[in-house]
Amino acid sequence: MSQLIVTSRYLKSGNQKNKTKRRNYTKYIATRETVEIRSQKFVDRNANATKNQEKLINDLINDFPESKRYLEYEDYERKPTIENAGELISTIVERNADVVGDRQNFVGYMAMRPGVEKRGSHGLFNEKDEPIILNQAANEIAEHKGNVWSHVVSLRREDAVRLGFDNSDAWRELVKRHISDIAKAQNIPLCNLKWYAAYHDTTHHPHIHLLVYSTNPKQGFLTKAGIDKVRSVFANDIFHDDLQSIYQEQTVSRDELKAVSKNEFESIVNMIASNDHTDPQLEELIRKLYIQLQNVKGKKVYGYLPMEIKETVNKIFSELAKDENIQQLYEKWCGLERLKYKTYTQKETELPKLADNKVFQPVRNMIIRTVLNMKPFDANTEIEGSEPNDEYIDNTPQDMSPLFDDAEPLEEKETDESAAAIKYYIKWNDQYKKACKLIYGKDAKLNDFKKAEQLLLSESQSGNVLAVYDLGKLYSTDKLGERNEEMSIAKYTQALQGFLRIEPNSKKLKPYVQYRIGKMFCYGLGTEQDYEKAFEWFERSAKQKNKFAQFSLANLYYYGSGIEKDLSQAFLWYQRSSSQGQPYAAYSIAQMYRYGEYVTKDNDTAQRYYKQALSGFLKIESDDMANDDLFYKLGQMFKLDLEQTQMLQKRSNTSNVQLK
């Protein structure tokens, strides 16, 4: 139930007819007799409203439908007694008297109405301490060539008494405190604004009438926003203490929601780190955000991030907002917000969903900070969610021939020709393979990483792009003690330049080189992140049957990165990649069947693809090329017995410790 009602209207200026209406209006409301139920001792004021009252109220509401917003109407609706009916009739006639009267009479009514608290011979007041001559004020307003605005500010009797607004002095000081706000709301320069007011101490709803106009007839207009501003100014002052209590409680509620959100999200992130999280959609979003944040420059706060990263944060927030405890806290906050609005409006306030509410913007930045503080994901093992293990793809020479095409294995002389033609080359020689083994071995330690660095430096200086790239990757981690972002960026930039120079003459290597170029654009390694360019390079490679590019292309279609989201194309390229033995693609197909994305939900087909993926994952694991993402997916496979799942998770946890 609202506590304060403000109605605003204007009294027209213009021709003699309107002037006469103003004058008659003032006289009418100055002399009219209100329905004073309290003076009729013989009438039971709590009896039901009479038939005549009911008919009159219906007629008045038809003529003045805005009357349903009045506090008197609320009282009448709740309890239709003779007294409440009389108060409502009196109020409707009073606030719409300008329809039948004129300005001059209105001023007289304000000053002389039964119930007015008189300041001398009448109740009119303004900011000046000098006595106001009633007839002079009435004529001044009647003859004014511009519009005059009338505001009625009404309180319930109990609130007026409780808050000290049951006398004209309190109302006069209130108007004086906020006359500059009223001037601004009505688009009148303060130096030109004039006003008069009177306090009416009625039985149920004490109120003031406030007349406002500009000495310049061309100035001033009042919009809906201006009316809302006037209403807000009065409500915030009158109910200051009440609102302060609501604000304080709301602040506590807001802070509690932020704290619970932080704890919940940190718990989710920790579960993902320990491969114990069971919401694949949220996990994929968090992994995606981590990769996006690694490749963005400048301030890593929500307001400064590119739109595509903001969208990822928003999706995570939306998922987080589904938590039952968070929902309850937000509903509590919304309840207080509605209570605050009900102080001065009867309209139902529509509040946004939690994820769309700007008040809770700090939760978005909390998500960003938490993801930034996560244990690093290997940027080369994730493309928008589920990228194949890069060590398995890029560093295992015996598996390279399927990367290029289905023909014979790559011959040594072909890489030598590339080296002779251009400065950079690609070669999986013994020195490079030894460096990779040192880096990716399960028991690798600091000394191993330092030895690997020297081997890669030697290879990179001779032009081996693979070594240059892996140096960029090594420097992006803390394996050498601490990250070296500057050196990492420099090496990635050099590697991309090398791949781009090699690509035109790379012969059978071309699909693989195109895939590597696409991958660097996808992650923003050595360049700005550019999904559209990544899409172009992946597509070139995928059409030449590179199964890893096919998988990466499918991911871009799946997530709508660099291309419009298209689950049919995603499914097609996942199938093509899976048919060549790419286990991550098989896993993605299984997920689509499991959740009914694009295809009809089919658990049997999902499990068939899970088994296919499992076979490939176990081969990678047996070759000592597994990473945390692979261990997690192994643990999620359907129909794995508990003992095997626990064993795989234990291996993952061991791997986590070794990489820290």
Span 227-253, pLDDT tens digits: 888 888 888 888 877 788 888 888 888
451-484 pLDDT, tens digit each = 999 999 999 998 999 999 999 999 988 888 888 9
Question: Which range is least confidently modeled, 109-118, 366-375, 468-477, 567-576?
Answer: 109-118
Phi, psi of 181 (to 5 degrees): -65, -40
The pTM (predicted TM-score) of the whole model is 0.46
Q: Are residues 319 and 452 in the same domain?
A: no
Highest mean pLDDT among 23-32, 164-173, 291-300, 396-405: 164-173
Whether residues 109 and 163 fall in one domain: yes
* Whether the predicted pLDDT of 380 surpasses 70: no
Compute and round to an integer the Cα radius of gyration of the chain: 38
Both 187 and 333 in a single domain? no
Encode 300-343 in three state secondary structure. CCHHHCCHHHHHHHHHHHHHHCCCHHHHHHHHHHHHHHHHHHHC
Q: In angstroms, what CA-CA distances link 571 with 389, 515, 588, 596, 609?
A: 20, 19, 9, 12, 13
The CA distance from 142 to 260, in Å, is 61
Better-scored residue on pLDDT, 177 or 404: 177
User: Using DSSP, how many helices (H) and how many strands (E) does the chain show?
Assistant: 29, 4
- Give the whole-angstrom CA distance, residue 37 versus residue 645: 82
282-310: b (≥16 Cβ within 10 Å) or e: bbbbbbbbbbbbbebeeebebeebeebbe
Q: HEC profile for 106-127?
A: HHHHHHHCCCECCCCCCCCECC
- Mean per-residue pLDDT, 97-125: 60
Please tell me whether residues 522 and 639 are part of one structural domain.
yes
Q: Which of 60-74, 192-206, 313-327 has the highest mean pLDDT?
A: 313-327
Burial state string for 83-102 with b = 16 or more CB within 10 A and e = fewer than 16: bbbbbbbbbbbbbbbbeebb
The count of structural domains within the chain is: 3
What is the spatial distance between Cα 500 and Cα 444, in angstroms, rounded to a whole number? 32
Residues 508-557: pLDDT tens digits?
A: 889 999 999 999 999 889 999 899 999 999 999 999 999 999 999 999 99
Same domain, 498 and 578: yes
Residues 439 and 364 in one domain: no
Check whether residue 300 and residue 415 sit in a common domain.
Answer: no
End of a domain among 216, 238, 260? 238
CA dist 401 and 357 (Å) reads 53
Domain endpoint, select from 238, 253, 279: 238
My answer on whether 370 and 389 are in the same domain is no
Residues 358 and 404 in one domain: no
Last residue of a domain, one of 238, 267, 302: 238
Residues 498 and 552 in one domain: yes
Do 392 and 428 belong together in one domain? yes
Question: For tokens 């003690």, what's the residue?
Answer: 481
Judge if 69 and 150 occupy the same domain.
Answer: yes
Q: How far is residue 423's CA from residue 421's CA, in Å, rounded to a whole number?
A: 7
% of the chain beyond a pLDDT of 70 = 75
**Tokens read off for 637:** 């496979």
Print the domain residue range for 462.
381-659
